[in-house]
Every structure is written in C-alpha cells, then in structure tokens.
Amino acid sequence: MKHLAVQDYFRFGNSSQHRLHPNCNMKVSLIILTLFASLSSLAQSAPSSVTLFTNVRIFDGKSDKLSAPSNVLVRGNVIEKISTSIIPADRQAGATLIDGGGRTLMPGFIDAHWHVMFAATPLNLLLTADLGYLTLLAARDAENTLMRGFTTVRDCGGPVFDLKLAIDQGIVVGPRIYPSGAMITTTSGHGDFRLPYELPRKLGVAEARSEQLGASIIVDGPDEVRLRVREQLMLGACQIKLMAGGGVSSPRSPLDVSTFTAPELRAAVEAAENWGTYVTAHAYTTKAIRGAIEAGVKCIEHGHLMDEATARLIAEKGIWLSTQPFIDDPQSNPFPPGSEEHAKKMLVVKGTDNVYAFVKKYKIKTAFGTDILFDPREVTRQSSRISVMTRWFTPAEVLKMATGTNGELLALTGLRNPYPGKLGIVEEGALADLLLVDGDPLTNIKLLDDPGKNLLVIMKDGKIFKDITQKPK
C-alpha cells in the first residue's frame, strides 16, 4: 500500500479518485489511531522547559511599586512560583538560570490597536502587491514587534490569519495575535479604498482590491453585515472590527460622517454575541460613538473628537475606550503636508489632550494602543509611544495600561480567546510572557524607548526569544 501522510488521507481517503479498498481503509485508520496515540503519549511524557529568574524586582502589571527582590520559576508556558525565598532545588531541576541582578521583571507589552499586515508597509504597496509578498513583509515586522517587547497584539483589521497560524506553530517568530479579520465598512466608509471608476459595485460581490486581500469588507444592509461578520468569525476572528465613522487614511471618508445605520450595527453586535464575543468600533465623533454604544458595541477605537457628555456616557456604561497618543510630531504623520489626509490627522491630534483628560476625569476603562499605519520608519518607535503617555499619566499608570489593563480587554473574547489564560500580569498561574529590563521603568520609563539595549530578556509563552544577560556590555 502506498504510504500516505495523515493529512493526505483526510484529503483523499474518501474521494472517488483515491478510494482505497475497505480493508486498506481499516488498516490506514488503525495506523492513524496508533500514530495519534503515540503522539499523545510523547506529548505527555516530554519534559516541560523550566526557567528560573533569580534576584528580580517585579512590576506585576497591577501595582504602583516594584516588589522586593524575588525569584520567579516558569514551567512550560506558565509562571509556577514567585517567592522572596530560595525556590527548592527539586522544583528548579534542569532549569535555565537567569540572574536578574536586581533588575526589573515585568509582563510583556500588549498593543491593543495594531495592524500586523499594515503597520510597516506603505499604502501604495498594500494596494498593488501580491498577498504572499505582503505576508512575508509582515512576518519580518512581526519578529521586530516581539523584539520591541510586545508579546501580544490585538490586530484591529487585516488578513492576518495565516501569519498568526505560522507564529503559533513556531514557523516564524512574532507576538500572540488577537485577530479581527477584515475590517467591516460600508460603501464610502473608512476602509473603502475604491477609486471612482470602480463604482458601482455589485451587491454581495467582493471586487475591490482591499476585499480580495481580506483587508476590509464593504457591506450595505443588515443581512450583508451579518453575513460578512459571520465569515470573519468562521475564519478565526476573536473580535469584530466595524468602521462606524470616517477615518484619516481613506481619501473619500470625511471624519465627521457616521456610516452604519442602527439596524446594521445591531446585526453585527448580534452576530458577534452569538459567538460569545464582542464588536469594537472605529469612531472619532460623538455621533458615531453614541450610535455604536446604543447598538451594544463593547469597545470604541479612538474617540478623539467626542464631547464630554459622551465621555461620561462611556464611563457610566462601562464601555472600553481603546485610544492612542497621537501627538503633533511630523514623524508620526505619514501623509504629505497639504493633503486631505494630513489635515484630518492634525484634527485628530488636536483632540488627543481632550480625550485623555476625559479618561482621567471619568475613570474610563482605557486600553493602550499605537495604531501605526503604512510607515516602516514609524514602527521602530512603537515602544516609544509608551513613554509619550507620561504627558498625561504617571509611569505606573502607563505601564499598567500597556500590560494588565490591556490583558483585561483581551479577556472580553471569552471562549473565542485564542490564548486562554491570564496575560499582562506577573503572578502564579499567569502565562509566561516576560521582559527583563535593565533598570527601573517606574522611575525612568524612557528606558523602554531603546528595547534593543534595555530589554535584556524577552520571553513569550515560556520560550526565551532574547537573552543578553550573559553578554558583556
């Protein structure tokens, strides 16, 4: 009998062209069962990797202060033990030892608004290049993202499912990814990058380049919204991203417009809730935000142009705000001066101080994200966006936001969570995503602006991806 790989059997075993004799089918089935049993036995007997961090001061993602000098034992992908005493020898047998030297051990950073496929790739290339090439570019930057200390990202739109799978399988290096899949937009909404000659579109037909890539999906009417949301969930989205208002980068989407109707918004929320997860909505203005909240959206992306009454409403209803520190920095505006996109970006920048003032005044549940787009230079400054936040918050407040608080937002995915477990914190039983920082970021948060130098160890899921503690300075 010709030998078949397991996946080949499942692909061809029942087809008329590759049908085997019944006795052969039985033999193959027995072989498969035996193989699965062997793999299961190997998985159960394989020893878990063990790492012991000694003499570290812990920022746990929740507190305002560092711990006393401590030892942290990681077994497999979980933090097993934290102690100010020496951990017994039998528990640390075979461990990789990392002497912290009194440095800071903290959770890996979480970027709650990242676009894995778009962040480092110019827009003109995204709209013209082959998806395979774009995925290779994104894979390169995914590794760079992890090396900047971001062990997890919430991807807020893009064709990232294959890259996520490759990272999870260890084929390429990168952060954990919470995918939204294609951004759901309306005709003329933010995310509709079609040119005038591509109109009119045929209902139900994905003809636009962005739709063919899986970057965004154009919908009109509750039924089409429901269909496209369900498709993204089927593909593996763990939350849904709606474009509820105008945006900066899309050339024919004014900031002041609201896109979805109330029935369309409710259709998306219902479809997501039926899958046990939530909708997050891109919305800058009061009208767009209020429409999303009334429909049951659980998180607002941006919000820079909302009024104070709307901020108060967000707080009262316990809605999450995922906003970003957009400041007047020429390097952070990839659009040419004089362009409509540049002007829209500057209008958003002017709202940044207001939105963070509302966050502090009303104690809004706020996530940290960067939303860097189409700029291979700006992505290198991803971690410096953390220190920028001290314009409005203390270092401890900022670091909690970028770790423990963001971890709480990720948990909204419920049973759709691709990485069940506690993220963004250092405590026993939490997933082992850890950074060893050469210094105390609570007193000098600018250390994080240079991750290449100051992040001595980067661990994700219990695996060490960087360790320069043994190298001479």
How far are the Cα atoms of 72, 85, 86 from residue 89, in angstroms, in the given order?
A: 13, 12, 9
> Which pLDDT score is estimated for 47?
61
Q: Where, residue-wise, is CATH 2.30.40.10 in the chain?
A: 50-106+426-467
Cross-strand pairs, 300 = 281, 321
CB 151 within 8 A of CB 109: yes
User: Two tokens at 343?
Assistant: 């002007």
Question: Looking at the domain that runs over 109-392, which CATH code has it been given?
Answer: 3.20.20.140
> Which pLDDT score is estimated for 95?
95
Q: How does strand 216-219 pair with strand 183-186? A: parallel
Topology of domain 50-106+426-467 in CATH is Urease, subunit C; domain 1 (2.30.40)
Query: Rounded to two decimals, what is the model's pTM?
Result: 0.89
> Which pLDDT score is estimated for 257?
93
> What are the DSSP calls for 80-145, one per residue?
EEEESSPPPTTTSTTPEEEE-TT-EEEEPEEEEEE-TTTTTS-HHHHTTS-HHHHHHHHHHHHHHH
Q: Where, residue-wise, is CATH 3.20.20.140 in the chain?
A: 109-392
CB 110 within 8 A of CB 406: yes
Helix, strand, coil percentages (3-state) for the chain, rounded to 5, are 40, 20, 40
Enumerate the H helices of 275-307 as residue ranges: 286-295
> Which pLDDT score is estimated for 27?
42
> Which pLDDT score is estimated for 68?
98
> Which pLDDT score is estimated for 106?
99
Amino acid identity at 61: G
> Which pLDDT score is estimated for 201?
81
> Which pLDDT score is estimated for 195?
76
> Which pLDDT score is estimated for 470?
77
Block means of pLDDT (10 residues each) for the chain, length 473 residues? 37 38 40 40 58 98 98 98 93 94 98 96 88 96 98 98 98 98 95 82 77 92 97 98 92 89 98 98 98 98 98 98 90 71 88 98 98 93 97 98 98 97 98 98 98 98 95 57
> Which pLDDT score is estimated for 179?
98
